């Protein structure tokens, strides 16, 4: 830890501070004081789940209570707190994942990262997957769940700074199943607008609709390769789009 912090120290004058990621059970007051002295400003914890059964099944080596204790300490020391969660872990369900998000919100982190579980070759998870003991979420199930998580955190004013793993050729080549997508966040945000449009459109007496969104939300409303728009049109809707900069990035209003 000190060798890495010392390597970063000469460059601190060029940056606001240092962001690090670590395990919840590696945090204590002594460590936090060292990190503060070395210019660390943000700490992210790999919490992954707030369900102790899920944590134990996945051999995480820490508990949900460890996450709570470490988070409180980090906040008391004045660091920006980030929490990372993994959806679809062995033993998890959409309900336990939603409960993890709700417990994150109670902790009040500044940021959150959401990583859907990807099965990699040569891991225990691959063995469980091939034996049928572990059934991963499908891509559609992951998108549906994470769209809900985005809205939960947005309502709580907690910034989701990452959703899905960074693309790499090695990741694609070494992963199993069909739940990885390089534009995962885009799929989830498009799903938010897809669901919002249909839930409101079904209540209208006409299919000639005016849709109001924030100008930066246009691509999300249209969907990847205009998939949302094409589906709306296939259902007979003819949306006219207008913009309102006062809208939130996930707001949609139909008139």
Per DSSP bridges, beta strands 210-213 and 240-243 are: parallel
Under 8 Å between Cβ of 241 and 218 = yes
Q: Report whether pLDDT(173) > 90.
A: no
Q: Distance (Å, rounded) from C-alpha 150 to C-alpha 185? A: 9
Q: What is the pLDDT of residue 170?
A: 84
Output DSSP code: residue 14: G
Q: In what helix (H) or strand (E) does residue 244 lie, and over which residues does it extend?
A: none
Q: Can you tell me the mean pLDDT for 218-230?
A: 96
Question: Architecture of 2-182 per CATH?
Answer: Alpha-Beta Barrel (3.20)
Q: Report whether pLDDT(169) > 90.
A: no
**25: burial class by Cβ within 10 Å (0-12, 13-18, 19+)?**
middle
Q: What is the 3-state secondary structure (H, E, C) of 175-242?
A: EECCCCCCCHHHHHHHHHHHHHHHHHHCCCCCCCCEEEECHHHHHHHHCHHHHHHHHHHHCCCCCEEE
Tokens 């980090």 label which residue? Answer: 74
Q: What is the pLDDT of residue 177?
A: 84
Q: What is the pLDDT of residue 178?
A: 81
Q: Can you tell me the mean pLDDT for 200-228?
A: 96
Average pLDDT of the chain, as a whole number:
96
pLDDT class of 96 with cuts at 50, 70, 90:
very high
pLDDT class of 171 with cuts at 50, 70, 90:
confident
pLDDT digits (tens, 9 = 90+) for 182-204: 899 999 999 999 999 999 999 99
Domain ranges in the chain are 2-182, 198-254
Q: Distance (Å, rounded) from C-alpha 163 to C-alpha 186? A: 9
pLDDT digits (tens, 9 = 90+) for 22-71: 999 999 999 999 999 999 999 999 999 999 999 999 999 999 999 999 99
Tokens 């606001």 label which residue? Answer: 16
């Amino acid at each position: 830890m000190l060798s890495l912090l010392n390597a970063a120290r000469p460059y601190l004058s060029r940056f606001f501070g240092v962001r690090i990621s670590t395990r919840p059970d590696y945090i204590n007051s002594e460590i936090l004081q060292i990190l503060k002295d070395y210019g660390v400003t943000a700490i992210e914890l790999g919490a992954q789940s707030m369900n102790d059964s899920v944590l134990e099944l996945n051999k995480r080596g820490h508990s949900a209570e460890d996450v709570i204790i470490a988070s409180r300490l980090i906040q008391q020391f004045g660091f920006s707190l980030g929490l990372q969660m993994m959806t679809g872990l062995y033993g998890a369900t959409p309900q336990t994942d939603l409960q993890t998000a709700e417990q994150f919100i109670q902790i009040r982190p500044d940021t959150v990262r959401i990583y859907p579980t990807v099965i990699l070759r040569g891991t225990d998870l691959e063995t469980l997957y091939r034996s049928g003991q572990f059934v991963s979420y499908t891509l559609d199930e992951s998108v549906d769940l994470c769209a809900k998580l985005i809205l939960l955190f947005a309502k709580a004013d907690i910034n989701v700074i990452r959703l899905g793993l960074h693309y790499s050729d090695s990741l694609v080549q070494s992963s199993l199943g069909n739940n990885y997508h390089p534009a995962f966040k885009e799929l989830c945000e498009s799903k938010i607008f897809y669901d919002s449009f249909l839930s409101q459109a079904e209540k209208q007496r006409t299919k000639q609709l005016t849709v109001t969104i924030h100008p930066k939300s246009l691509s999300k409303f249209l969907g990847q390769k205009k998939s949302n728009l094409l589906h709306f049109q296939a259902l007979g809707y003819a949306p006219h789009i207008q913009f309102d900069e006062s809208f939130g990035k996930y707001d949609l209003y139909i008139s």
